[in-house]
């Protein structure tokens, strides 16, 4: 039965990592157009501000001053997600 120990542990880690990926890593309210992930400088043009929430999955959810929501990045999945989870816990 021990031949499946690694698979079972990976599945445990994956489930924990998927929950962890939904938690907030940082919150940043700003009017900067120079963020490393920002491909929409028009959101902060003319002094407008935005709220950027970065999650452990590496995505950033931006809420603009007019209420629009924009997602930056691609969420980590599978082994990459598990590796990031283990590295940070």
The arithmetic mean of pLDDT across residues 39-51, rounded, is 94
Which among 37, 46, 23 has a CA at the least distance from the CA of 70?
37
- Domain coordinates in residue numbering, the chain: 2-88
Can you state the angle between helices 5-21 and 78-88, rounded to 10 degrees? 80
Question: CB under 8 Å to 76, separation ≥6 — which residues?
Answer: 21, 57, 58, 84
Is the per-residue pLDDT at 1 higher than 70? no
Distances (CA, A) of 1 to 4, 12, 31: 6, 17, 57
Whether the predicted model's global pTM rises above the 0.85 cut: yes
State pLDDT tens for residues 15-39.
999 999 999 999 999 999 889 999 9
């Amino acid at each position: 039965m021990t031949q499946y120990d690694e698979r079972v542990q990976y599945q445990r880690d994956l489930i924990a990592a998927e929950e962890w990926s939904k938690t907030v890593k940082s919150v940043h309210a700003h009017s900067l157009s120079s963020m490393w992930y920002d491909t929409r400088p028009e959101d902060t043009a003319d002094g407008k501000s935005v709220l950027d929430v970065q999650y452990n999955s590496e995505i950033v959810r931006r809420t603009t001053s007019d209420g629009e929501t924009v997602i930056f990045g691609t969420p980590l999945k599978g082994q990459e997600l598990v590796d990031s989870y283990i590295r940070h816990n």
